[in-house]
Structure 1
Amino acid sequence: MIEVYNILSGVEQVDRERLFTLSNSVRTRGYSMKLAASIFKTNKRKYFFTQRIINIWNLLQEDVVKISSIVGFKKGLDKFLESRMGVNNREWIAHCDCWFFSHAIQTYQSDPAMKRMLNQLYFYIMPVFNVDGYHFSWTHDRFWRKTRSKNSKFRCPGVDANRNWKVKWCDEGASFHPCDDTYCGPYPESEPEVKAVAHFLRKRRKQIKAYLSFHAYAQMLLYPYSYKYATIPNFSCVESAAYNAVNALQTVYGIRYKYGPASSTLYVSSGSSMDWAYKNGIPYAFTLIKPTCTETMLAVKNITLHLLKKCH
């Protein structure tokens, strides 16, 4: 089954034409808020899935972020996978992986692997994590990275939503200065986006077995730790999942992703969602950094099928 974090924005009703303009080249530039939201409405009409809406937090005065539950497969599942896109707004291509939802439903009957995944796992998908920041990157500053929260002492708004999690908060790789792109915030989970998702995951951490966060632009599959140079306890299982995914990508597309612990493969950074998820009991936590959407489906499928092998 698939659980989709949907953006049903009240801003669209205020001034739809001004705020939400679709790009003429969405395949390379990413997806606007309007298009991201429309995916789920289209698929609901086409496939007649039941939709359940639950409010979880308010971001802008006019915006409401909601969870949509798309139900239509086997019930009584005990394993969940959470997938989240759009932490850093300027990485537009990261948001397009919400198309996984559409592809999964379309290939459910024809692809045995997809059918097994959806019958045995429950997917939570959040296409846009940082709503107001993502909107700002489309309307004002193409390279805007942070949230849009206000700072009373400085004229520099926003917090890096991938440095605001309560795991080695504001240590190496993060900044205390509000004007820096990697500003960690005044305290852990100061941002409503981070606080709401952390609360959502805490309530389900005994059920969620994997967490995937999507970023751009590179070709890397990373796993904990990000905040230190150390080996995670279940290294062999996580490493094996990453190895299988990277090999599959090379076999099909002829590209070779780098993979390994985030600290040694990329750089050290504290307060990330991936480390937080792992530290809070989710055994498989990955960050996929990619240049396009093309490779994403195959990587997710390989990680998911590895999870079903019950490697611990």
Structure 2
Amino acid sequence: MGEDHESGAWYPMRLTSRRKYLMPNDEPEQERLDLLHHIYLLLLDGKLARAPIGDDIQRILDIGTGTGIWAIDAAETYPSSQVIGTDLSPIQPSWVPPNVSFQIDDAESDWTFARDSFDLIHIRNLNGGIKDWGKLIKQSFDALKPGGWLDVTEYEMRLKSDDGTLRVESNLFRYYDLVNQAADKSGQEFKVAASLDKFILDAGFDKVNHEEMKISLGTWAADKKQKDMGAFTLLAVEHGYESFGMAFFTRILGMEVLEAKELIAGAKKESRSKKIHSYATHHLYYAQKPFKKSDLK
């Protein structure tokens, strides 16, 4: 495990290939991750997962746990469960509930978890950090108990507007367009968020539940829930723009630091405008591992 200091932020490095993960893990980024957790709680009306899990859940795995905030919430919500959170970096707090633990691990390496050992595997916001989604989902399937649930949430790394207020010539649109170009070039593209169904079915799940939900950027929406989520999203992207932008634009696209900073500043300014009615589409997947025939007798 190593760290690489670049553009004023710390970037974790893969345990195996030494290939750098393209998001930092500095303090502002950790705050952004915690904000995203709050946004998802608003989106799901306080629930931790979209999968219909019961209260008697025993073993939970949180892949890419980040600051550990979801895993800690899960441990407190299900006090009889054992929760494990894995991540590339040891940025989780030391004082946590006794039924949660954290491991430094690369989700793309071969897993060492026993087969049929988890009731719920939770994956969220790993888009852009995973090269082989098929392997990740298959290893999740193998590690789930029969009847266990996979819960995956990923968002499209692009903004939309239904009324044409987000124009293609804007800094905001250009920012996301270049992020996707850089991600495609690096082999860590974001377009998979809308098409994880195939990987889930190929892994062995019988059925995939797939829902699309909008989250506004900013406070332009009339709906209170959307306005609240949009306000927190705006806070989250204040640092997120720099985290993504500096890594993708300078390291992959070869953009000069000053040019990258000017584009980021323009995107930030436009994201605050109530005249631009932009939103991101979030894809929520949940699927249950089939029961063995012997379990149904």
Does the pair score TM above 0.5? no
